[in-house]
Chain A
Amino acid sequence: EVQLLGSGGGLVQPGGSLRLSCAASGFTFSSSAMSWVRQAPGKGLEWVSAISASGDSTYYADSVKGRFTISRDNSKITLYLQMNSLRAEDTAVYYCAILGPGYYFDYWGQGTLVTVSS
């Protein structure tokens, strides 16, 4: 069974930093592209970032480019999202997801809440 367990969310002040983790199991992590998608409270879904299976290629939405960094450790079967210079508008539930061979979000983790507030 595919499992994606997100962690690392919490309350942070504007301008602060946070690192999210997503521990994977039940599939071949090292062969799978991965992604982060967020959802502000009561709002819709927004793609944030993606990374290739090897980690050599990374992609970002314009709204987070230059502030967020996606990475992965295939030996630890874990995906990461380093978030710097956080803003109130970054407040959201952050989901990690498998980016399948068709480039859709095949499976999603349970999400971790990030709140940016003073």
Chain B
Amino acid sequence: EIVLTQSPATLSLSPGERATLSCRASQSVSSYLAWYQQKPGQAPRLLIYDASNRATGIPARFSGSGSGTDFTLTISSLEPEDFAVYYCQQRSTWYTFGQGTKLEIK
């Protein structure tokens, strides 16, 4: 099983700041990695697929990068609605998710 490790577990930032979230895979997943956003009491929402492609309707402030084992989700300037939990997910070998990064307001 491919294990995805996200860091940090919690990230405390203020609106307007830049957020950088990391996801590391236990073995190469090529570019087969996605990022999801989940707000309390809601279902996850697909943000980024194939490491760097924004899903339909996702604002340009969200961007993804990386390949192989190291990936990054960047939010260029945080809006109040961006504070949530973010998960990475690989589909190279079946499907596994990272444990999540909670992005909280500082």
Contact = CB atoms under 8 A, between A and B. Distances in A.
Interface of A: 35, 44-47, 50, 59, 61, 95, 100, 102-111
Interface in B22-79: 32, 34, 36, 42-46, 49-50, 55
Given A103-B91, A104-B91, A109-B43, A44 B49 contact: no
Interface of B: 32, 34, 36, 42-46, 49-50, 55, 87, 89, 91, 94-100
Contact of A44 (B32, B45, B98): B98
Tell me if A's interface is mostly helix, strand, loop or mixed: strand
Nearest to A46: B97
Contact of B46 (A35, A106, A111): A106
Contact of B49 (A102, A107, A108): A102
Contacts, number: 48
A45 B55 CA distance: 19
A73 to B, nearest CB: 23
A45 B87 CA distance: 8
Contacts of A45: 36, 44, 87, 89, 97, 100
Given A44-B100, A47-B96, A110 B43 contact: yes
A47 B46 CA distance: 15
B43 A44 contact: no
Contacts of A109: 43
20 contacts: A44-B99, A44-B100, A45-B44, A45-B87, A45-B97, A47-B95, A47-B97, A59-B94, A95-B44, A100-B49, A102-B91, A104-B49, A105-B44, A105-B46, A106-B55, A107-B46, A108-B43, A108-B44, A110-B43, A111-B43
